[in-house]
Amino acid sequence: MATREIISTGNELSALAGVDAGCTFFGGYPLTPSSEIMHEISDLLPKIGGTCIQMEDEIGAICAVIGAGMAGKRTMTGTSGPGMSLKAENLGLAQMAEVPLVCVNVMRGGPSTGLPTRVSQGDIKQASNPSHGDYRSITLCAGSLAECYTETVRAFNLADRFMQPVIVLLDETIGHMHGKAILPTLEEVKAGIVPRKTFDGPAEEYFPYECGPTDAAVLNPMFEGYRYHYTGLHHDKNGFPTEEINTCRKLIQRLEDKVMAHQDEIESNEEFMMDDLDGSDGEVLIVAYGSVALAAKEAIRHLRKDGIKAGLFRPITIWPSPAKRINEVVNKTKNVLCVELNIRQYTEEIERASGRLDIEGLYKVNGRAISPHEIVAKVKEVF
C-alpha cells in the first residue's frame, strides 16, 4: 500500500487531514494548545478555494461552522476544554438539527482556565455529553501522530454518515509532538470519502426528517432548490417545531438509535501485545488512550524484559465506548491497570462495561505526562 511520510505536529496533521478529507470551511478562535490547527488550516484552505475565518469567540466559531454545514460544506473547528464549554449549547443545536461537523479538542488542564500550556485528558466525560439532552456523541481519540490525521479524516466521514457533530480528542502532548507520521496517500483518502446522502426527487416529496428509526436525517444543502426548516426545538418531518407527543418521542429516540444501532461502523480499538494474555496470575492488562498509550507501550516492553506479561487495550473510539470488547478483554485478564491523565474518567466506563470493581488506576492531574517508568513502577507495586 502506498503511503506518505510527513514530518509535522499532531495539530498540523489534523488541519491537513481536514483539507484532504474535503473540508472547505474552518471557523475558529485561537485557544492554547489547539491554536496551530487554525494557523495551519488558514494557510491551506485558501489554496483550494476554501475559507478560514477567525470569529470573535468560540461561540461565534461554532455558529459559523454550523452555518457552513447547513450549506452543505464539510466544516471544522478546533479548540480546547474551555472552548468546548462555550460551544456546548450550539453543539446541542447541531445534534438536534442533525448538522454534520468536526470539532477537534486538544485537551489541556482544567477545569476553568486550569493549566493552559500543559497536558490533560480531563475532557473525556465532557465529550460523552458536551451538550444537554438525549443524544449519542461520537468521539474519537488519536493515539499517535498518524492518527491525528487518520482519525480526523474518519471523523468527517462519520459526521456525514450520521449527520451530527463528531469530536476528535487530541491532548497537548500529542498535539505539539513533532515527528514523522506515515499517512495514507491523498488518492486513498479521496477514494474513501463518504459524502452525505441527498434527496433528488420532487420538492413536494422531500421531508428531511422523515426517516427510519435508526437512520440519520437527509438534509440537502440550503439554497439548492429544497425548502425546509432548521430549529433546535423538537420538530416534525419538515423541521418545523412541534409538541406532538409521538413525533417528539420518535425524534429523540432516533437521535440515540441512529448511533447505537450502528456501533460496528463506529467502534475502533487497538490491542497491543495481548495475544498471549490468558488470565494467569502474573500478567497485567493496561488500558490507556491518547498520548498516554505511547508511554504504556514502552512500559510494556520493559515489563516483558523483566518477565512480566503485559499488554495494552487502547480505545480509539471513546464514545460510544467499545463496551462489548472491553468486557471480553478485561474479564479474561486477572490484573487490570487503567492509566489516565485525569481522575478515573474512563476507568468508570471500564468498570461499567466489565462489571469489575477491582481495577487499579494510575492517574495524574498536575499537567505533566505519565512516563513509562511510572507505569512500570505502578505495575510492580500493585500486582
CATH class of 271-382: alpha beta
pLDDT digits (tens, 9 = 90+) for 12-66: 999 999 999 999 999 999 999 999 999 999 999 999 999 999 999 999 999 999 9
pLDDT digits (tens, 9 = 90+) for 125-143: 999 999 999 999 999 999 9
The percentage of the chain sitting over the pLDDT mark of 90, rounded to a whole number, equals 97
Whether residue 161 is predicted with pLDDT greater than 70 in this model: the reply is yes
CATH class of 3-191: alpha beta
- Contact, 91 vs 131, CB < 8 A? yes
How deeply is 337 buried, as exposed, middle or buried, from its count of CB atoms within 10 A (0-12, 13-18, 19+)? Answer: buried
Mean pLDDT in residue range 215-224? 94
Among 359, 364, 376, 363, residue whose Cα is nearest residue 295: 376
pLDDT digits (tens, 9 = 90+) for 197-217: 999 999 999 999 999 999 999
What's the count of helices (H) and strands (E) in the chain, helices before strands?
14, 15
Mean pLDDT in residue range 267-274? 98
Distance CA 86, CA 92 (A): 12
Grid coordinates given for 172 = 497537548
Enumerate residues 6+ apart whose C-beta is below 8 A from 346: 121, 124, 287, 289, 315, 318, 338, 340
Mean pLDDT in residue range 71-90? 98
Distance CA 284, CA 322 (A): 20
pLDDT at 225: 87
Domain 3-191 identical in fold to domain 271-382: yes
For the chain, the helix, strand and coil percentages under 3-state DSSP, each to the nearest 5: 40, 20, 40
Q: Which residue carries 474479564 as its cell?
A: 331
Distance CA 25, CA 23 (A): 6
pLDDT-based confidence at 194, cuts 50/70/90? confident
Grid coordinates given for 85 = 464549554
How deeply is 199 buried, as exposed, middle or buried, from its count of CB atoms within 10 A (0-12, 13-18, 19+)? Answer: middle
User: DSSP secondary structure string, 152-217?
Assistant: HHHHHHHHHHHTSEEEEEEEHHHHH-EEEEEEE-HHHHHHT--PPP---S-GGG--TT---TT---
Q: Which residue carries 513509562 as its cell?
A: 372
pLDDT-based confidence at 223, cuts 50/70/90? confident
pLDDT, averaged across the chain: 97
Boundaries of every domain in the chain: 3-191, 271-382
pLDDT at 1: 64
- Beta carbons within 10 angstroms of residue 284's beta carbon: 23
Mean pLDDT in residue range 275-299? 96
Residue 75 DSSP SS3:
strand
Among 72, 44, 46, 77, residue whose Cα is nearest residue 60: 77
Mean pLDDT in residue range 146-164? 98
Phi-psi region of 102 (alpha: psi -120 to 50; beta: other; left: phi over 0): beta
Going by their DSSP bridges, the two strands 178-184 and 3-9 should be labelled as antiparallel
pLDDT at 150: 98
Distance CA 146, CA 10 (A): 8
